Structure 1
Amino acid sequence: MDAMMTDRGGAKGARRLLCFYGDDFTGSTDVLEALYRGGFRTVLFLEPPTPELLEEGRFRDVECFGVAGVGRSLTPEEMERELPPVFRTLRSANAAVVHYKVCSTFDSSPRVGSIGKAAELGRGTFGGGRFVPVVAGVPYLGRYTVFGNHFAAADGAVHRLDRHPTMSRHPVTPMAEADLRRHLALQTELRIGLVDVLDQSGSAESVRARLEALLARDKPELVLFDVLDDERLRKVGRLIWEEASRVGDGDSLFAIGSSGIEYALAEAMAESAGHSGRAAAGGDAGAVGAGDAAPTDRLLVVSGSCSPATERQIARALEAGYVGLRVPAGELAHPGLRDAAVRRLRAEAAAALDAGRSVLLYSALGPGDEAIAAARAELAALGLRAEDSSRVLGSALGALARELVAAAGLTRLLIAGGDTSGYVARELGVYALECKAALTPGAPLCAAYSADPVFDGLELVLKGGQIGGPDFFEEVRLGKSVGSSGVQV
C-alpha cells in the first residue's frame, strides 16, 4: 500500500496525498491546521486552482491542497450546480483521498447545506471506493461520536448535539437529532452503516475484520465511524487509508467529515510520504507551539459574528483597551447612507490605529443585541432578505479593512464570522492561505497569498463564531496563549 501511495504522491505530486473542499470558509482553516500539525505543507485556495498555478514555484512542493467553498449555505439544487465542477478539479489532482469538509457539529438540513446531497454528488464523481467514510468527531476540538450519536463541548461540559446550548438553537440549521445516521437519512437515501466504539476495540486486524463484516452484511454506501479518543481515531485513519489504497490510479477515495478526517489520517499519510508528522490524530496540543507567532503592536479585528463566544471576546478586548466601533449594518445597506457611514468608520478607526491602539469593528454584541433585529428590519424595508446581510455587511467591511490595513501598514488581521471572513479575504485580493502557527484549536494563524504586494504575506486569523476563549483577540495579537482558549460552542 505504501509504495502505491508514494507513487501517487511522489516528488512532483506530494500534494496528491489529500485534497479537500470546505463547505464554509472559516471551517476550511480547520483542515489547514490539522495538516500543519500533521507535518504536511498545505494551501487553501479561494477558487479551484489551475494545474499551472499548482506547478508554480511557490506551490510546487505542496503536499495537500483545498478549496474554500460555500456548500454549507446552498440548497440541494444549488449544490448540483456548484459542486460537480469543483469535484472534477479535485479528481484531476489524482489525490489518494478527497475530503468534503463539513462543520464538526454536522449542522445541516435537507434544504440547506445537505451533507447527504454532497455525498450523492461526490459518490457520483469519485466512484472508486466501496463506501464513503464519514467522520464527525475531533477530540482536539471537543467533538465526539459514540454509538452514532454526536456530542460537542461547550462552557466546560459536553452536550449531546440535540441538547447543545447553541447548535440545538442554530438559526438556520438547528440540530434536533444527535444520531447522525438518522440525521443523514433525512438528507439522502444512501444506505448508512456504523463502526462504533466497540467495533474499534482490539487489534487492527480485528477492527478491520468487523468493518469487512459490516460491508458484506449490510452493503452500506456511507460508513459512519464513532470517534471517542485519539487512539481509536488513529485506527479509523488506518482503515480509511487502506481503503484509499484499493482505489485505482486516476481516481480518489471520497470522504466526508470534519477535520477529524485529517487527524485520523495524519500518521498513516506521514508514513506513506516518508516523513514523521508534528502530531498524529491531534496528539500533544503543544506539538506546534503557540509561541510560533511573533507579537504585533496593533491588531485590527473585524467581527460579523453574533455568537455568545464572540460576545465574550469583544467584551474582554474592550476591557483590554481595544477601541470598539459599532458597525451600523442598516446604514451600510442603505445606498443613501452607506458612503457617510464608511467615511465615519474609516476616520475613527484610522485615528485609533495611528495612535497605536488596536481596533475592533463589530456588528453585534452577541445574539441578544437589539441591533440584529433593527438591521433585519432595515434590510426588509429595502427589499432585502435577512440572509443578504452577510453579503452587504461583508463586502463593506472587506473594503474598509483593505483601506485600513494598507494605510496603517498592519501585518495581522483577525476576522470573526464565516461569511464575513470570505468577503473580507476576497476584498483583500487574497487567493490562497497557508498555516503559519496553531494558536488555538480551530483558528490557526495563516499567511495570505495575494496578487497585491501590499497584502501578500499578510497574517490572517479567520474565526468561526464558536472558536476561542474570552482572551482570544489578545492571543492573536500577542501570538501566544494568555488564558483559557479553545472551542466554545
Structure 2
Amino acid sequence: MLIGVIADDFTGASDIANTLAKGVPGQGGLVAMQYMGVPEGAAGPEVEAGVISLKSRSVPADDAVASSLAALHWLKAQGCRQIVFKYCSTFDSMPAGNIGPVAEALADALDVKGVVACPAFPVMRRTVYQGHLFVGDKLLNESGMQNHPLTPMTDADVRRWLRLQTESDVGHVPAPVVGEGAEAIDAAIRACADRGETLVIVDAVTDEDLVRIGQACADAPLLTGGSGIALGLAGNFIAKGLATGDRNRFEGVAGTEAILAGSCSGRTRSQVDTHARKHPTMAVAVEDVMDGRTSSDDLVAFIEANHGEAPLVYSSAAPEDVTAAQTRYGAEAVSDRLEGLFAETVKRLVDGSVSRVVVAGGETSGAVAQALDLGGLKIGPEISPGVPVLFSDKRGVALALKSGNFGGEDFFDQALDALAGEGAVHE
C-alpha cells in the first residue's frame, strides 16, 4: 500500500477514494479500497490506496484522536509511504472540534511540522483564498453552513478557526505563491515548518492549484484536507514507477433498489423534489419517528411495495423544521433515532432482496455502512463529482453514498443506473 487515508466520515472517505482511483486524466489512478473502521487483518497485495472511514467528525476530540491514531498504526503496518487526513471541504468542525486535535496528533506521531491543511474542492465550488474558505462566491459562514444542525460554521477564516483547536501557530501559503509552482510551494511550507507551525493553510482556487500542491508534497509524510488534496498524489507514485495507473473494474449489479435520504441540505431537498415527480416517495416526519408512530416496518413495506420504481424514503426537512425538532427532542436524540431507523431499514432490505442502495447524507451513510458489515469496498467509476460506485464482495451489494450537497438534480436516477453498470458514468 502506497497511500493511506484517514477520513472522519463515510461519504468523505468515498469521495477521496474516488479521487485517488481516477487520478488525473492521462495518468490514471490507483487501485483503491475503502474500509469501515480499522480492519482486523492485512490489506490485499493489490491495494495501492487504502481509505479508512471513521465516524469521528462529531465525537469527543479525545475519541477522534484515539481512533485516528489506531488507523495510522494500521496504515503504517501496510507499508504506506504517505498519510492523508481527510475532512469535509466545508471544514465541518466546531471551535472545540476535532480537525485540529486529530491533525496535530497525527503530525506528532509522524514527527513532522509544516503539514498542509487545504479543504479546497473547486469542482464543488469550495475554494480557499487568503486563508478564507468560500462556497461559490460566498464566504463559508454565509453559504448556509452557518445553519448546519451539528457543525454550524460561523467563521470563514480557516486559520482563525483552526487556531482555536490547536496548540501551535497556523501557517499560510497564499495564492500567488501557489501559482508559482511546486518548488515555491515547497519552500513556503518549509519556512512555516522552520517557524514551528505544525499546520499550514494553503490557498487553492483551481484543480491546477491542487495538483501543484500535490507535486510539492510528493515526499510529505502527512497532508490534510478535503478530497481535492489528493488530486496530484496518485500521479506522484505513477511517475516514480511505484503504481500502474490502473483501477478497480466494475461490471454492474442487477436486482432491486432502494433510496434513502437523511440529509437536510438544500441540494438533497431539491433532489428529493425532482425524484418525486416521477417516482414513489415516502416522507418520514421526525415527530412520528420520535413518538414511535413510524418504524422500519413502515419503510421496508413501502420500498418492497414499489420495487422496480426507484422508491425513495426521506427525512430531509427545511432548517427551521430541523431546529424545531431538535429543540423539542434534543439534537443528538433526533440524529441517533433517524440514523438508527435508516440503518435498520437498509440492513433488512439488503438481507432480503435489495442489491442496489443509494443513500444521501454523510452521517446517515456512515450509520448504514456500519449496520451492513460490508467489509472492504472496491471503488468503481465516478457517478458524480465526489461520489463513486462502491461494491462489497462480502454482501454482493453496490452502493452510492453521497454527502448532502453533492450531485445534480437527477442524482438518484443517475446513481441507480451507474450501480447497474448503465448510463453516463464519468471516468
Which residue pairs with 1:402 in the alignment?
A: 347
Query: Aligned to 1:68, which of 40, 53, 77?
Result: 53
The CA deviation at 1:300 is 1.0
With structure 2 as the length reference, what TM-score do the two structures score? 0.88
- For 2:239, the equivalent position in structure 1 comes to 271
**Does the CA contact (< 8 Å) of 1:297 and 1:477 recur in 2?**
no
CA contact (8 A) 1:25 1:419 kept: yes
Identify if the C-alpha distance between structure 1 residues 268 and 412 changes in structure 2 by more than 3 Å, giving closer, same or farther: same
Task: Give the corresponding residue for 1:85.
Answer: 70
- Given that residues 448 and 459 in structure 1 are in contact (C-alpha distance below 8 angstroms), is that contact kept between their aligned partners in structure 2? yes
Distance 1:376 1:205 in 2: 52
1:423 corresponds in structure 2 to 367
Do the aligned partners of residues 53 and 268 (structure 1) sit closer, same or farther apart at CA in structure 2, a change above 3 Å counting? closer
Q: 1:330 to 1:482 in 2, by over 3 A?
A: farther
| Partners of 1:295 and 1:478 within 8 A in 2 | no
Note the C-alpha offset of 1:41.
0.9
CA contact (8 A) 1:75 1:111 kept: no
Instruction: Name the CA shift for 1:47/1:208 in 2 (closer, same or farther; >3 Å).
Output: closer
Between the aligned partners of 2:186 and 2:114, the Cα distance in structure 1 is 14
Contact 1:439 1:481 in 2 (8 A): no
Task: State the 1:481 CA deviation.
Answer: 6.9
| Equivalence for 2:125 | 142
Q: CA separation in 2, counterparts of 1:357 and 1:206?
A: 54
- 1:277-296, aligned counterparts within 5 Å? 277=245
Structure 1 distance, partners of 2:283, 2:168, is 47
1:184 match: 162
CA contact (8 A) 2:114 2:192 kept: no
The offset of 1:297, in angstroms, is: 7.4
> Equivalent residue of 1:172, what SS?
coil
SS in 2 for 1:434: strand
Distance 1:143 1:298 in 2: 35
Distance 2:100 2:363 in 1: 22
User: Is the 1:304–1:420 Cα contact (8 Å) retained in structure 2?
Assistant: yes
- Is the counterpart of residue 302 in structure 1 residue 260 in structure 2? yes
1:78–1:195 CA distance, 2 compared to 1 (3 A) = same
CA distance in structure 1 between the partners assigned to 2:359 and 2:50 by the alignment: 22
Is 140-149 or 65-74 further displaced after alignment? 140-149
> What amino acid sits opposite 1:324 in the alignment?
T
Number of paired residues?
A: 418
Are residue 124 (structure 1) and residue 108 (structure 2) matched?
yes
CA distance in 1, matches of 2:155, 2:326: 31
Identical counterparts, % of pairs = 28
Q: Is 2:347 aligned against 1:362?
A: no
Secondary structure of residue in 2 paired with 1:116: helix
Contact 2:48 2:243 in 1 (8 A): no
Counterpart mapping for 1:78-477 below 5 A: 78-112=63-97, 114-127=98-111, 129-153=112-136, 158-164=137-143, 166-202=144-180, 204-216=182-194, 218-242=195-219, 244=220, 253-275=221-243, 277=245, 299-320=257-278, 322-334=279-291, 337=293, 341-353=295-307, 356-368=308-320, 370=321, 373-374=324-325, 377=328, 380=329, 385-407=330-352, 409-450=353-394, 456-477=395-416
The answer on whether the counterparts of 2:42 and 2:78 sit within 8 Å (CA) in structure 1 is: no
Q: Which residue of 1 aligns with 2:26?
A: none
Q: Deviations over 1:35-75 (max 9, x none)?
A: 1112111111112113x342xxxx22101112111221022
Cα deviation, 1:182-226, whole Å, max 9, x if unaligned, reads 11111112122112111123354444444444444x332212211
- Please say which of residues 190-199 and 322-331 is displaced more in the overlay: 322-331
- Determine the structure 2 residue equivalent to 1:284: none
**Is the 1:330–1:375 contact (alpha carbons within 8 Å) kept by the matching residues of 2?**
no
Q: Could you report, residue by residue, the CA deviation over 1:119-149 in whole angstroms, capped at 9, with x for unpaired residues?
A: 221122221x342221211223322111211
Instruction: Tell me if structure 2 keeps the 8 A contact 1:104–1:259.
Output: yes
The AA in structure 2 aligned to 1:478 is D
d(CA) in 2 for partners of 1:348 and 1:206?
Answer: 58
For 1:313, what is the secondary structure of its paired residue?
Answer: helix
Determine if contact 2:4/2:49 at 8 Å carries over to the other structure.
Answer: yes
Q: Aligned to 1:108, what secondary structure does the other structure show?
A: coil
Q: TM-score, normalised by structure 1?
A: 0.78
Work out the CA distance in 2 between the residues paired with 1:410 and 1:276: 35
Out of 31, 56, 67, the residue aligned to residue 16 of structure 2 is 31
C-alpha contact (below 8 Å) 2:7/2:51 kept by paired residues: yes
Describe the SS at the equivalent of 1:67: strand
Offset at 1:294?
5.3
Give 1:106 deviation, angstroms.
0.9
**5+ residue gaps, structure 2:** 24-28
**Equivalent-residue separation in structure 2 for 1:60 and 1:325 (angstroms):** 44
Tell me the alpha carbon deviations over residues 359-402 of structure 1, each in whole angstroms, 9 at most, x when there is no partner: 1111234435x48735863xx3xxxx421323322222222223
Tell me whether 396-405 or 432-441 shows the greater mean CA deviation.
396-405
Conserved 8 A contact 2:253-2:356 = no
- Aligned partner of 2:30 in structure 1 is 40
Secondary structure of 2:218's partner? Answer: helix
SS of the aligned residue for 1:40 comes to coil
User: Per the alignment, do residues 120 and 276 of structure 1 end up closer, same or farther by CA in structure 2, a change over 3 Å counting?
Assistant: same
Q: Distance in 2 between matches of 1:81 and 1:275?
A: 31
- SS of the residue corresponding to residue 306 of structure 2 reads helix
Q: Which has the larger radius of gyration?
A: 1
Partners in 1 of 2:272 and 2:366 — Cα distance?
20
Q: What one-letter code is carried by the residue in structure 2 that aligns with 1:261? A: I
Paired letter, 1:439:
I
Q: Deviations over 1:93-141 (max 9, x none)?
A: 33111111100111212323x21111221122221x3422212112233
User: C-alpha separation between the residues in 2 aligned to 1:207 and 1:77?
Assistant: 32
Distance in structure 2 (CA, Å) of the matches to 1:343 and 1:241: 51
